Amino acid sequence: CEFCATSHFHKRRHIPLLKTGRDLHREIRRVHSELGDPRLPIGIIEEDFLIQKKRAQEYLDCVLEDKQEPIKISCFASAKAIAMWDPDDLVRMGVEAIWIGVESQQANYSKLEGLDVKAIIASLHERGINTLASLILGHDFHTEEMVWKDFEYFVSLKPSLSQFLIMTPACSTPFFERLQKNDRLLDVPHREWDGFHLTFKHPNISKPVMEQLILDVYKEEYRRLGPSVLRYVERQLDGYLRYKDSADQLLRARAEQYRRECVMALPLFPTAIKVAPTSEVASWLSDVQQRITSQAGTGGIKNALLKAIVPVCARVQQFKLDHCSYPSPKLLRTEYRAGENKAKPADAFSITS
């Protein structure tokens, strides 16, 4: 994509920090050991993890050999890469969530060419693999009407999680260079280059309208699809029911992981149902809650106690949202420096954190 900062910053080269699947598996187990939590999910931050199939297959082979608690990972992947895999192998690999760029139906991206994205996403969901689908607003061809048309397609995919962002010209990208050449960049403070502010002259949509659109699509997504955390849980329930009686031992172990997550989420349902944006969403949540309790368990006295606490937490959070400024996360900066004359220049890049 012409707006992808990391791809173009590295001149579209793949530069792995962990070169083999065995290296990756070893590092994940090291982190688990260091933190003392073998169940900790691990996020793999790479543009398209699954498209490097030889390395990912080697990682899967390591998982198949591993006798410890099965590792859970999330990753970035294109529809093109996902289509290369048997979805059951992705479950075996421990992929619990995939970030996937859906983009506009009008955009001509090779990563989506000739692919049925809806079928690909459905094949993941029915196996318990969640999706974070991303849609960019603000292509030059976008009008308000076309944004909502893309939104309708996006909602039809029923992603577990959603990301909407205004197209933003990050430095070093072809998109930035094209706008700069045509004198289309706006004088906007860098703190507002955040995907929620328009930073360039759009041919069809004004800055105020675009910045309201991004808020409107988020609100409508919630109204139509309901709370994302419980959409996530429903997918896990689907995976549990699919694999709980599997002849494959690893798939049964994955099913048990899904079951635990479903039961853990049960205390959220009564409050979510009470504050649901529509009666349709409330009915769907009630159905999912009933399916979990009947198929996966209730969680016993611990969940009963948590069920009483959740409404209080919800009211506190609502008060903060209504009366306090938005709780933006604080910047945490950690620096790693090699002392003068104590390391060769090349050694400075071997430090890990």
Please give the Cα distance from 72 to 43 (Å, whole number).
Answer: 9
Please give the Cα distance from 301 to 39 (Å, whole number).
Answer: 23
Given pLDDT bands bounded at 50, 70 and 90, which one contains residue 190?
confident
Residue 311: CA count within 13 A, CB half-sphere: 9
User: What is residue 282's predicted lDDT score, i.e. its pLDDT?
Assistant: 98
Q: How far is CA 89 from CA 66, 257, 268, 331, in A?
A: 15, 16, 31, 38
Please give the Cα distance from 217 to 164 (Å, whole number).
Answer: 8
Quote the crossing angle between the two packed helices 207-225 and 228-243, to the nearest 10°: 40
Given pLDDT bands bounded at 50, 70 and 90, which one contains residue 209?
very high
User: What is residue 280's predicted lDDT score, i.e. its pLDDT?
Assistant: 97
Please give the Cα distance from 185 to 187 (Å, whole number).
Answer: 7
Look up residue 327 and give its amino acid: P
Residue 344 clears pLDDT 60, i.e. is over it: no
Q: Is 178 exposed, middle or buried (0-12, 13-18, 19+ CB in 10 A)?
A: middle
Residue 81 clears pLDDT 80, i.e. is over it: yes
Residue 11 clears pLDDT 70, i.e. is over it: yes
Residue 349 clears pLDDT 50, i.e. is over it: no
User: What is residue 56's predicted lDDT score, i.e. its pLDDT?
Assistant: 97
Please give the Cα distance from 224 to 155 (Å, whole number).
Answer: 8
Reported as a single tens digit per residue, the pLDDT across 239-279 is 999 999 999 999 999 999 999 999 999 999 999 999 999 99
Choice among 89-93, 150-154, 331-335 with the minimum mean pLDDT: 331-335
Across the chain, what does the average pLDDT equal? 91
Q: How much of the chain, in percent, has pLDDT values that exceed 90?
A: 76
Q: Which residue has the tokens 């992705």?
A: 90
Q: How much of the chain, in percent, has pLDDT values that exceed 70?
A: 94
Please give the Cα distance from 21 to 71 (Å, whole number).
Answer: 14
Residue 335 clears pLDDT 90, i.e. is over it: no
Q: Tokens representing 177?
A: 């260079």
Number of Cβ within 10 Å of residue 101's Cβ equals 23
User: What is residue 340's predicted lDDT score, i.e. its pLDDT?
Assistant: 58
Residue 338 clears pLDDT 80, i.e. is over it: no
Query: Among 164, 220, 223, 224, which Cα is nearest to 195's?
Result: 164
Secondary structure (DSSP) of 40-98: --EEE--TTGGGSHHHHHHHHHHHHH--SSPP-EEEE--HHHHTTS-HHHHHHHTEEEE
User: What is residue 346's predicted lDDT score, i.e. its pLDDT?
Assistant: 43
Listed in sequence order, the residues at least 6 apart from 183 whose beta carbon sits closer than 8 Å to its beta carbon are none
Sign of the C-alpha dihedral computed for residues 244, 246, 249 and 251 taken in this order: negative
| 100 contacts 74 by C-beta, under 8 angstroms | no
Please give the Cα distance from 213 to 76 (Å, whole number).
Answer: 26
Q: Tokens representing 62?
A: 């390591």
Query: Among 258, 232, 296, which Cα is nearest to 97's?
Result: 232
Q: Which helix (H) or strand (E) holds 99?
A: strand 95-101
What are the residues facing 101 on neighbouring strands?
134
4 DSSP 8-state letter: -
Across 163-179, average pLDDT: 92
